[in-house]
Amino acid sequence: MGGTGERVGDLGEFGLIARLIRGLPQAPAVALGPGDDAAVVAAPDGRVVATADLLVEGRHFRRDWSGPADIGHKAAAQNLADVVAMGARPTALLVGLALPPETPAAWVEELYAGLAAECAAAGASIVGGDVVGADAVTLAITALGDLGGAPPLTRSGARPGDVVAVRGALGCSAAGLALLERGASGPAELLAAHRRPRPPYAAGAEARAAGATALIDVSDGLVRDLGHVAAASGVRVEIDTAALPVPAVLGADGVRHVLTGGEDHGFAAAFPPGRVPAAWTAVGRVAAGAGVLVDGRPYEGGGWDHFPRRPR
Amino acid sequence: MGGTGERVGDLGEFGLIARLIRGLPQAPAVALGPGDDAAVVAAPDGRVVATADLLVEGRHFRRDWSGPADIGHKAAAQNLADVVAMGARPTALLVGLALPPETPAAWVEELYAGLAAECAAAGASIVGGDVVGADAVTLAITALGDLGGAPPLTRSGARPGDVVAVRGALGCSAAGLALLERGASGPAELLAAHRRPRPPYAAGAEARAAGATALIDVSDGLVRDLGHVAAASGVRVEIDTAALPVPAVLGADGVRHVLTGGEDHGFAAAFPPGRVPAAWTAVGRVAAGAGVLVDGRPYEGGGWDHFPRRPR
């Protein structure tokens, strides 16, 4: 990267932006990329899918635990996964960066390279954004997508009798975070899963092709996110722990991490019986009722809340 | 508002989001509003205009200088104005909020009410977003819009011989900020201009109807923003200070504030000769060359940079 000890405060807002957007690849869907008041992105479906997330240093990432490219990959991935969770194809990302003026310019360039590479992996382009000064590094990511003429796959269509299935890693990111919090150094695959999750972006198209009735990105934890599906669909979701895909590397805490860990950005869906695609794993069923049961009982193991309720 | 001393940390992420999105009006363009992994917004043009900004407490607003509704209005306005500056009609806003857990819930509800009211004034709806914990209040706003079948109005189409014209207030927000920084209490209209700018949202449609060749939102200051037009179009822009609309209330510093003040979110455009719409004020011309001349000379009065270059 170009930095030779330069800080973002040395470059100025316009100098930094010019450096970041230089050479950004632009997919054919981008009618007008960075550099004007706004971008223009193709929305051939006549509708656009849009989602936005904030990531704050010290809460969503730590610069001593993750490199800048990792942070960029992860920030893009969690937003691109939300677009895929609607059954849509990601098209574009807008990137807002709040940066302390003393942040090394090379760190920001590597962050941006990670964002751009993750976008490319999902078929999307960075089309715009903003850079401002702040005391803490904060990323504000917006992802856009196209539904290709199909109805959106929401959380609200699950019906009693459907099969519940999952796709992609579950629990590995949470296990990696637990290792980092304890100061432990391995297993490397868990640390990597926390630093740079790999959402299976094909999941949206697979779910749509198989006639899924509901689809969600597992970002708050499997039990919690299936709770969102249960509430939105007016149904009960039943999970069988014996059916869960629990990687051996997770060890004794494996089931708990798979039920509560969210940041792998795998997917959960409901399918009509007999329609679960090959790459998915059936883990339970939809029934009449409310809430989520794990092996027939309510689960009290929790999940992720950005503002945990305080005891009073 | 509902707050009775509650803090956002008491409500939890999901409780706060549920309260904020309750009763949000949704315009017909919103196919799917808040509550799923992503929103779905109509893009009848087959393209979508998208822009994003970050606003950080202490840098872009102060809670002791502006009320929460003001901050919401202003954050929405600056993004909606960027959509209008492409000649587009705003359709939707995504709102990311980073909040200290001790922030009063009522403060956030009033902020959100301001965002929603400004959206409504521009014909758009809040369709989604995110809420996370942080040490400083930060707003991450994304605005979307529709071009209605027309080409985007960019910064790059100005041609020698065009007339340069402006629309909306210029300089009043900067003068209001200067008053607040000095601890002065009036004139009230300048303080109001800083706290709650009123972009003339009709400017985009007016400029398009009149065949404007370039359009920009004045956010960094008139000289600086016309500098962006000059650079993107490969032309020189010449401003006549005698033609500038300088409100009497600006007093002795009026011309400087009009040339350098940005946050009123007025608009500047280039029009073919004889095509300046009635609501606009001609302030200069486009010529062959480069840069911006004010009364025939380069202007050294500056403008807004979020990372001012440090002396070395």
SS3 for chain A is CCCCCCEHHHHHHHHHHHHHHCCCCCCCCEEECECECCEEEECCCCEEEEEEEEEEECCCECCCCCCHHHHHHHHHHHHHHHHHCCCCEEEEEEEEEEECCCCEHHHHHHHHHHHHHHHHHHCCEEEEEEEEECCCCEEEEEEEEECCCCCCCCCCCCCCCCEEEEECCCCHHHHHHHHHHHCCCCCHHHHHHHHCCCCCCCHHHHHHHCCCCEEEECCCCHHHHHHHHHHHHCCEEEECHHHCCCCHHHHHHHHHHHHHCCCCCCEEEEECCCCCCCCCEEEEEEECCCEEEECCEECCCCCCCCCCCCCC
User: Contacts of residue A18 in chain B, CB cutoff 8 Å?
Assistant: none
Q: A128-158, pLDDT tens digit by residue?
A: 989 999 999 999 999 999 999 999 999 999 9
CB contact under 8 A, B54 and A132: yes
- The CATH number of B12-146, from 3.40.190.290, 2.40.50.100, 2.60.40.10, 3.30.1330.10, is 3.30.1330.10
Q: Which of B48, B97, B101 sits opposite A41 (nearest CB)?
A: B48
- Binding residue ranges of A: 37, 51, 53, 60, 82, 112, 129-130, 155, 217, 219-220, 263, 304
pLDDT at A221: 93
CB contact under 8 A, A142 and B52: yes
In CATH, which superfamily holds the domain spanning A163-298?
A: PurM-like C-terminal domain (3.90.650.10)
Q: A39-80, pLDDT tens digit by residue?
A: 999 999 999 999 999 999 999 999 999 999 999 999 999 999
- Binding residue ranges of B for substrate: 60, 263, 304
Q: With 90 as the cut, is the pLDDT of residue A29 above it?
A: no
Q: Which of A10, A36, A95 to mutate to test the interface with B (most CBs of B within 10 A)?
A: A36
Nearest residue on chain A to B150, alpha-carbon basis: A40
Q: Is the ipTM of this complex over 0.90?
A: yes
Residue B283 C-alpha, separation from nearest chain A C-alpha, in angstroms: 21
Q: Which of A16, A54, A154 to mutate to test the interface with B (most CBs of B within 10 A)?
A: A54
Level-2 CATH architecture, domain A8-146: 2-Layer Sandwich (3.30)
User: Contacts of residue B36 in chain A, CB cutoff 8 Å?
Assistant: 86, 152, 154-156, 232
Band of residue B304 on the pLDDT scale cut at 50, 70, 90: low
- Binding residue ranges of B: 37, 51, 53, 60, 82, 112, 129-130, 155, 217, 219-220, 263, 304
Q: A158-205, pLDDT tens digit by residue?
A: 999 999 999 999 999 999 999 999 998 889 999 999 999 999 999 999
Residue B130 C-alpha, separation from nearest chain A C-alpha, in angstroms: 5
Band of residue A2 on the pLDDT scale cut at 50, 70, 90: very low
Residue A106 C-alpha, separation from nearest chain B C-alpha, in angstroms: 16
CB contact under 8 A, A140 and B52: yes
Nearest residue on chain B to A157, alpha-carbon basis: B36
Work out the percent of chain A whose per-residue pLDDT is above 90: 82
Query: Domain extents for chain A?
Result: 8-146, 163-298
pLDDT at A307: 55
Q: With 90 as the cut, is the pLDDT of residue B26 above it?
A: no
CB contact under 8 A, A101 and B310: yes
Backbone angles phi, psi at B270, to 5 degrees: -110, 135
Residue B82 C-alpha, separation from nearest chain A C-alpha, in angstroms: 5
* Long-range contacts, stretch A2-5, CB < 8 angstroms, 24+ apart: A2/A105, A2/A106, A2/A109, A3/A104, A3/A105, A3/A106, A3/A107, A3/A109, A5/A104
Band of residue B301 on the pLDDT scale cut at 50, 70, 90: low
Q: B197-247, pLDDT tens digit by residue?
A: 999 999 999 999 999 999 999 998 999 999 999 999 999 999 999 999 999
Q: How many A×B Cβ pairs under 8 Å?
A: 252
Q: A92-131, pLDDT tens digit by residue?
A: 999 999 999 999 999 999 999 999 999 999 999 999 989 9
CB contact under 8 A, A40 and B232: no
